[in-house]
Amino acid sequence: MFRVFRGYIIFMNKKLKAVVLLSGGLDSATVLAHAVKKGFDCHAISFDYGQRHRIELRCAKRISRQLKAADDLVIGFNLRKWGGSALTSSMKVPKGGLKSGIPVTYVPARNTIFLSFAISYAEAIGAKDIFIGVNSLDYSGYPDCRPQFIKAFAKCANLGTKATDEGWKFKIHAPLQKLTKAQIIRLGTKLGVDYSLTNSCYDPDVKDRACGKCDSCRLRKKGFAEAGIKDPTVYQI
Amino acid sequence: MFRVFRGYIIFMNKKLKAVVLLSGGLDSATVLAHAVKKGFDCHAISFDYGQRHRIELRCAKRISRQLKAADDLVIGFNLRKWGGSALTSSMKVPKGGLKSGIPVTYVPARNTIFLSFAISYAEAIGAKDIFIGVNSLDYSGYPDCRPQFIKAFAKCANLGTKATDEGWKFKIHAPLQKLTKAQIIRLGTKLGVDYSLTNSCYDPDVKDRACGKCDSCRLRKKGFAEAGIKDPTVYQI
């Protein structure tokens, strides 16, 4: 697009860039659709960190294409070097239903690592807006999903980059923070997300079918049921 | 070591674990020596991030052995995917002396990324102390070296991990924060650091010799001169 002003052709690409953390799950797919709808030029970033459910990376690519992200980048590193989680070690994924406390699927400092890469990427491409799908209602009890953490990270991001010196600020958007899983699914459906492309399961089988029993599958199932929307997930059972 | 108490043999391994960020440069080598001296069981962590001066990884291994770290781990990821720095792209390393402002050798959010991995590692192995060689006097003007950033990161680390829920705290130690380069060199020399094993140069030649002209080489040279200690670095000129 362009317009002509005093004989000059002026290109009108006013879209602001944003970096969107895209895991390939239901929440981050919804967040990407939300950021696209808001008019951002969305640069998706995913992580190949040694996760058990590596299928999510293929899902991330498909979602990024379905929702027309400007770019989809994968950063690889190996959190299995120290494990400490059922998602990055041989520890079993619990399937007995949600319990109180921090579950063993919590990956030490995962969102801190993910957000750090996101601000590095954002700073390099000139984006000031970062979108993340954390949620503090229907979630798994992870400390790095709570609002206080996101707020503290934003402060840290602005001090540890050029932002403060150059007089601008990073904004960490967490649009799902106060939504239930059902509300997220309703929002995403309205925004045109194809949830059959997403994976939430922590422990899919060799045919990539969801287990239906891990915390993440339970929350997903409950969400679709409460939203009154058909769950397109292929379950093992 | 053990002692006998009421007929029971009690093992006395009271050494606390610490994670030490070890780049292979002068500062982090000094920090490792300091942490070892303080009695910590030091787990060194280094990063293979696409840096121009990859020689520092070999240096990190040698230093870790010289100073008897308990472990030395390397995490790899590719910051050249987005560059944004003379250390992670084909941009030239400036050699005209220190200027004001943030130099082009600043790597977007590098210390935020490094510290995020450090707390993930620390949480997994049960360490609460993290050591980093940032310094705000004789340094290169990087935003992620200032005390306010380190303080903000510590807050973020405690909120984004199990720390707050389990009632303990990460402590980020930055023992060089207020020292000049000369003071750091004097401290390290007293602690037995072999500085000939370290590399500070951003742009070494194919024979691993330091350029002697980049900001980092200049600070190093000046530091040794001011400390009145012979600089063991092999320079190209």
- Tell me which residue in B77, B119, B123 faces A76 most closely, judged by beta carbons: B77
Closest chain A residue to B156, measured at CA = A152
Exposure string (b/e) for B152-174, b if CB count within 10 Å is 16 or more?
A: bbbbbbbbbbbbbeeeeebebbb
How many CA atoms does the CB half-sphere of B157 hold within 13 Å?
Answer: 27
Closest chain A residue to B110, measured at CA = A120
So what's the pLDDT on residue A8? 61
pLDDT of A1 over the 60 cut: no
More confident residue, A214 or A97: A214
So what's the pLDDT on residue A7? 62
Size of interface A-B (CB pairs under 8 A): 153
- In chain B, beta strands by DSSP E: 2-5, 8-11, 17-21, 41-48, 71-76, 129-131, 171-173
Contact call for B119 and A110, based on CB within 8 A:
no
Residue B170's closest CA among B135, B214, B121?
B121
Closest chain B residue to A88, measured at CA = B124
What average pLDDT does this structure show over A97-101?
A: 82
So what's the pLDDT on residue B98? 76
Number of other CB atoms surrounding residue B112 within 10 Å: 27
Q: How confident is the model at residue A158 (pLDDT cuts 50, 70, 90)?
A: very high
Contact call for A109 and B144, based on CB within 8 A:
no
Q: How far apart are CA A148 and CA A114, in angstroms?
A: 17
Q: What class has domain A13-227? A: alpha beta
How many CA atoms does the CB half-sphere of A28 hold within 13 Å?
Answer: 32
Contact call for B112 and A116, based on CB within 8 A:
yes
pLDDT tens digits, A8-65: 655 566 799 999 999 999 999 999 999 999 999 999 999 999 999 999 999 999 999 9
More confident residue, B139 or A116: A116
Contact call for B76 and A79, based on CB within 8 A:
no
So what's the pLDDT on residue A14? 76
Mean pLDDT for all residues in chain B:
93
What is the percent of chain A with per-residue pLDDT over 70, rounded to a whole number?
Answer: 94
Residue B154's closest CA among B110, B115, B124?
B115
Q: What class has domain B12-227? A: alpha beta
ipTM: 0.93
- Amino acid letter for position A107: V
pLDDT tens digits, B190-199: 999 999 999 9
The residue ranges of every structural domain in chain B are: 12-227
Rounded to two decimals, what is the model's pTM?
0.94
Closest chain A residue to B86, measured at CA = A124
Show the tokens assigned to A206: 């060799």
What average pLDDT does this structure show over B204-218?
A: 94
What average pLDDT does this structure show over B189-213?
A: 96
So what's the pLDDT on residue A94? 93
Q: How far apart are CA A15 and CA A129, in angstroms?
A: 12
Contact call for A77 and B73, based on CB within 8 A:
no
What average pLDDT does this structure show over A96-116?
A: 92
pLDDT of B11 over the 70 cut: no
Q: Bridge-partner residues for A171, per DSSP?
A: A129
Tell me the nearest-neighbour CA distance from A50 into chain B, angstroms.
12
Mutate to test the interface with B, among A71, A85, A112, A170 (most CBs of B within 10 A): A112
